[in-house]
Amino acid sequence: MRSKMYCIVTFFILICHMNGYAQQTKRICDTIPYEFIREKIVIPVVVNGVKVKYIVDTGGQTGTMWEEAMEMKAESAGSLVSISDFNGTGVSYQKGILKNIQLSPNYQIDELNTMVLPEVGMFKDLGVAGILGGDAFAQTVITFNARKKIMILNYPYRPRGLKIEDGVEMFAGTTHHSIVNVKVGGEMKKMLFDSGAQGFFSISKDDFIEFREKGLCNQADQAYGVNGAGLVGLGEAVDVYKGSVPELDFLGKRFTNVGSITSPNSRSIIGVDILKYGEVVIDYMRNRFYFFPFDDEVEDMGGAPKTWNAGIMPRNDRFEVTTVWSSMKDQLSFGDEVVDINGTKLTGLPMSQWEIEEIMSTIEGEQAYIVILKDGKEKKVEIRKE
């Protein structure tokens, strides 16, 4: 009788153990539809019962604006997070802790560290609380499919049928950044796949100079200024180069005449536009990165990008000339105040880079004019795309 009872108890414990193990290793495969707004991937998230939206930024670190963090009842971690933004500017933010983060119907994170950010105009314009970096997905495998505008989240296993040898090593480090080797003119260079970066390719200034000296990059023009805003605004004005690399191979997909404008970042970036050419799968747990092209055609990217020979952005609570290309160096200076673009008065316009981009994008043809205010006098200056 005792022997029979022992067998029953042992069997019961075994069943409980098996059920517990099955529960711990439950396979999750959730599809997350996303919005693609102004070249940003935006997904719905529930944090501590609060429904919000976040930008998915594989090149960044999770950050939440202060007001939204308070609504989510984020806890203070009592320390600071130091990062470098788009312009390479170092900045520190208070660290907070988010609780109960529902990333998909079946996947929830109990706790997630977040930078607590001041109000960011771009986030407000997009209606998002902040950004989710690779740290938010550190225990998952995520697939980006731009044709269907979906992300697929797998946990704890890779998608069925995906072989580890189909991918390449990812150098994620402690930041969970999706850094992989990319071949440029036959030479390997570590680059960051950044879903939060617009465009196809952003080359670091250091890489541009190195490639140029090795004959792997062609220079088309040079400017002085800044060409983008980071979390802390515009960086310092520097020399900016425009050009192209004759050939770039991204994990088996070949691109030729790949144009780019240099950035102050320490690392070159493959931006969100790579998703137009194939599926990206990131296995954060195993540090493997996969790219599955939609076809095997060689893509001609058209060479150095055509841009206006004067860049304008909000700065110092007004609109200023922030990039001066070589053909304009005798007519404009970095910091000149701009009050009119091709007949559109800028007085009263919100201090937004997107406002300027919207005006510039509606200009027909490749010639226009701006009006600058210098020494109290207005001066009309012709600009052109080149």
How do the domains of the chain map onto residue ranges? 28-155, 178-274+292-303, 310-384
Rounded CA-CA distance 128/38 in Å is 13
What was the pLDDT predicted at 12?
40
What was the pLDDT predicted at 78?
83
Q: Show Cβ contacts of residue 347 under 8 Å, excluding neighbours closer than 6 positions.
A: 339
What was the pLDDT predicted at 216?
96
The tokens for 201 are 């390719």
The tokens for 128 are 């998002």
What was the pLDDT predicted at 16?
39
| Same fold: 28-155 with 178-274+292-303 | yes
β-partners of residue 109 are 101
Between strands 299-303 and 253-261, the pairing is: parallel
Rounded CA-CA distance 139/108 in Å is 11
What was the pLDDT predicted at 7?
40
Chain-centre distance of CA 152, in angstroms? Answer: 18
List phi, psi (to 5°) of 143. Answer: -120, 130
Q: pLDDT 10s digit of each residue in the chain, 386 long?
A: 444 444 444 434 444 333 333 334 689 999 999 999 999 999 999 999 999 999 999 999 999 999 999 999 999 988 877 776 555 566 789 999 999 999 999 999 999 999 999 998 889 999 999 999 999 999 999 999 999 999 999 999 999 899 999 999 999 999 999 999 999 998 999 999 999 999 999 999 999 999 999 999 999 999 999 876 655 556 788 999 999 999 999 999 999 999 999 998 889 999 999 999 999 999 999 999 999 999 999 999 999 999 999 999 999 999 999 999 999 999 999 999 999 999 999 999 998 888 999 999 999 999 999 999 988 899 999 999 99
What was the pLDDT predicted at 266?
84
What was the pLDDT predicted at 31?
98
**Inter-residue contact 258 to 270 (CB < 8 Å):** no
Rounded CA-CA distance 298/301 in Å is 10
The number of CA neighbours under 13 Å toward the Cβ of 2 is 0
β-partners of residue 386 are none
Long-range contacts from 310-318, C-beta under 8 angstroms, 24+ separation: 310/370, 310/381, 310/383, 311/223, 311/225, 311/226, 311/227, 312/338, 312/341, 312/356, 312/360, 312/370, 313/226, 313/229, 313/234, 313/353, 313/356, 314/351, 314/352, 314/353, 314/356, 315/233, 315/234, 317/351
Instruction: Find the angle CA(31)-CA(279)-CA(136) to the nearest 5 degrees.
Output: 55
Instruction: Classify domain 28-155 at the CATH class level.
Output: mainly beta
| Cis peptide preceding 156, ω within 30 of 0 | yes
Domain 178-274+292-303 sits in CATH at 2.40.70.10
- The CATH architecture assigned to 310-384 reads Roll (2.30)
What was the pLDDT predicted at 375?
87
Buried b (16+ CB within 10 A) or exposed e, 236-264: eebebbbbbbbbbbbbebebbbbbbbbbb
The tokens for 250 are 């991204």
What was the pLDDT predicted at 89?
60
